[in-house]
Amino acid sequence: MRDKASPSEYLAFLSMKYEVDADEFFDALVLAGKNHKAKCGVLSIECRVKQPQSMIVLITLGSKVVAQFPVSNEFLLSEGNPIKNMERASFLCRRPAKRGNGSRAFQIKDLRIGMKAVTLKAEVVEVSDTSFVVTRFGNYASVANALVSDETGKIKLCLWNEQIKSVSVGDTIQVENARISAFRGEKQLRVGKNGNLHAFHNVVVT
């Protein structure tokens, strides 16, 4: 559970991704809880199920489902705006990397959903079995997840095609210009076409 994003992290990620104002987003969530539906920029918010301590929220973009997840009453009654606070923290984390036009080195405990230009050094703890998927472009691709760790925590690293063969359990890896995304509510490290992945195989010299 430690690796799962908090509601404020995930909502801040959606706010930045769809370029909606954090205050308007939070107000729309509260309004949806009262009136069942609300609009915020390009996003529509609907309260699908009302529970004693929470509600199930559906967020859509036109006919496309963006997300559906529970939001607690405690979150909606928070003082200030937890989405805005998380967005500000994420911006401060990313800001030095933008100024330097390059990646900034992080530890796993500091990673937040939505961050870009991330440099990270970690050890490969395990590598999952390879799966074969069809991409949105209609191409076949191989995909696997590597669990990597440093002294502050663990995170999954998404590996595609030739990246899978380049890493093994026990290797030390360094990723550059990576980004942190969310998959099924879980933080994930991704190295896109503009990023780099280097693996250093640990060799025992006798």
As given in the structure block, the two tokens for residue 64 are 């496309």
- Per DSSP, the residues of 135-175 read -TTS-EEEEEEEEEEETTEEEEEEEETHHHHH--TT-EEEE
pLDDT digits (tens, 9 = 90+) for 7-30: 777 787 788 778 888 888 889 999
pTM for this predicted structure: 0.49
pLDDT at 147: 94
- Cα(117)–Cα(203) distance, rounded to whole angstroms? 30
pLDDT under 70 in the chain at which residues?
1-6, 86-103, 135-138, 201-206
What crossing angle do the helices spanning 7-17 and 82-99 adopt, rounded to 10°?
A: 60
Pairing label, strands 54-61, 43-50: antiparallel
Which run of H or E residues covers position 131?
strand 131-134
pLDDT at 120: 92
pLDDT at 149: 93
**CATH entry 3.40.50.1000 includes domain 102-200:** no
Residues in the chain: 206
Please name which of 141, 155, 154 lies closest in space to residue 190, comparing C-alpha atoms.
Answer: 155
Pairing label, strands 186-190, 153-160: parallel
Domain with CATH 2.40.50.140 in the chain: 102-200
pLDDT at 206: 33
pLDDT at 124: 92
- Per DSSP, the residues of 64-130 read EEEEEEEEEHHHHT-SS-HHHHHHHHHHHHHHHHHHTTS-EEE-GGG--TT--SEEEEEEEEEEPPP
